Each structure stands twice: as structure tokens, then as C-alpha cells.
Amino acid sequence: MPNFKNSRMAEDIKREMTAILRELKDPRIDKMLTIVRADLSGDMSSCKIYVSSFEGMERSKESVEGLRSAAGFVKRELFHRLKMRKAPELTFIADNSIERGAEISKKLHDLL
């Protein structure tokens, strides 16, 4: 049976992470960074957050480094905004899904 509370909390984390990203002032973090997905573990002790940038995979990796250095601030903000009992450990992972989607869109546009 799917755990609806877990998936709802993952969506809440994704929504709040998007807002928190806009507040971060680290120059390594891309302004066009997008939260692709948030995978919350079953016991809600850890969360993998997949991020992607319009500027490519290298910019995503650089942004992940900035996010790792700001992980304490981000974790505290999530804890306060979502009123959680315990904030999960955050792991940021670079993803190239937006870049790949843009390439596919361009190829489809070129076919027409």
C-alpha cells in the first residue's frame, strides 16, 4: 500500500525547496535552478533532492556544491516551514532532465 503521507510530504518539501532556493545568495547556485524531484525515505529520515539547470549539467553540479554548503540553513528552514518533528538529512543530486528535455523538444521542432 502506498504511503500517502510520505508522498505528500515529499511534494511539500519540493515546493518549499523551490522557495528557499530563491532566498539563497551563494553565487555558485544557479538562478534558473529547478527542483526536479524529492525522494523521501520511508521513515522520513533522509531526502534526495534532484536539481537541474537550464545551463547544463556542469552548472547543475556547481549548484549542488553550493547547496551542500548551505544544507544546514536549508534543513533548518524546511524544519520551521513544514513544522516537522525531525528534519530529514538532505542529499542534493545533479540531474540533466531539463537539458535532455530541451534537446528532445528541439529535435521534434526540427522535424516539423
Across 13-31, b (16+ Cβ under 10 Å) vs e yields bbebbeebbeebeeebbbe
Domains and CATH numbers, the chain: 4-111 (3.30.300.20)
pLDDT score of 1 more than 60: no
DSSP 87: P
d(CA 28, CA 51): 14
For residue 2, what pLDDT is reported? Answer: 53
pLDDT digits (tens, 9 = 90+) for 41-94: 888 899 999 999 888 888 889 999 999 999 999 999 999 998 888 889 999 999
pLDDT score of 97 more than 90: no
pLDDT digits (tens, 9 = 90+) for 7-16: 898 999 999 9
pLDDT digits (tens, 9 = 90+) for 19-40: 999 999 889 998 888 999 999 9
